[in-house]
Amino acid sequence: MEKRLKYLLCILSVFFIIGCNNNEKRPLTSIEFGKWKSDSLGVELQPNKFKNFRELLNWTEDISCNDSVAKITLNKKDTLKTIYFQNPCWKKYACILIKEKNTIRVHNDSIYKAHKVYPLDSLYGIIKRDIENNGKNPMLCESPKKLLFEISYLKKKSWDLSNTLDRLTDDFEKITNKRNTKIRFSQRIVLLPPPPPVNQSDDIYSYK
């Protein structure tokens, strides 16, 4: 009887040790997207603390004006994903020319590209199309290096910023195998489609 009891205690001890080892926390892996100023201070943004998107946008631009870079860190299980934003300091620049075709705009839960509106779950295909275009289609991105993502929201209750950033960066890395994203917050501006060129049909804005 005593031998059996010792045997059972040995078995229980083994299971206890295994259980403790499984509960040990794994070290977090840190990855960064869009880090463009290695010598600048990264200032963490906490979007939920802002009253509205305009306040978040203004704060991000103020960070840039202080020679720092705004960032948001997402905690994904065993990974810390830090995303840097490239908002300019408009106090220092009168104008920055960015071609519309080199931009993918995400507003609320929709994507605006080439004068069309797409659902957010189309993001992978839209990024891939722009990345692989290389100037072939004049209405799409000229070069992967010029691709810019602009994010905006109308109302705070429609914010899903963490999921949008997570999806955007994941899709970008899957397509390019890189993390050199160019993302910035912007005020949503409604752009009207240009008139079609003379002697060309209206289907010039159709991309399949």
Paired with 106 in beta bridges are 111, 151
What is the tens place of the pLDDT at every residue in 31-40?
999 988 776 7
- In this prediction, residue 31 carries a pLDDT of 94
The series of mean pLDDT values per 10 residues for the chain, 208 residues long, is: 47 48 67 83 91 92 93 91 93 75 94 94 97 95 95 81 95 97 83 50 36
- In this prediction, residue 205 carries a pLDDT of 35
Joined together, the tokens standing for residue 31 give 């990855």
**What pTM was computed for the model?**
0.78
Q: How far, in Å, CA of 129 to CA of 141, rounded?
A: 9
- In this prediction, residue 39 carries a pLDDT of 66
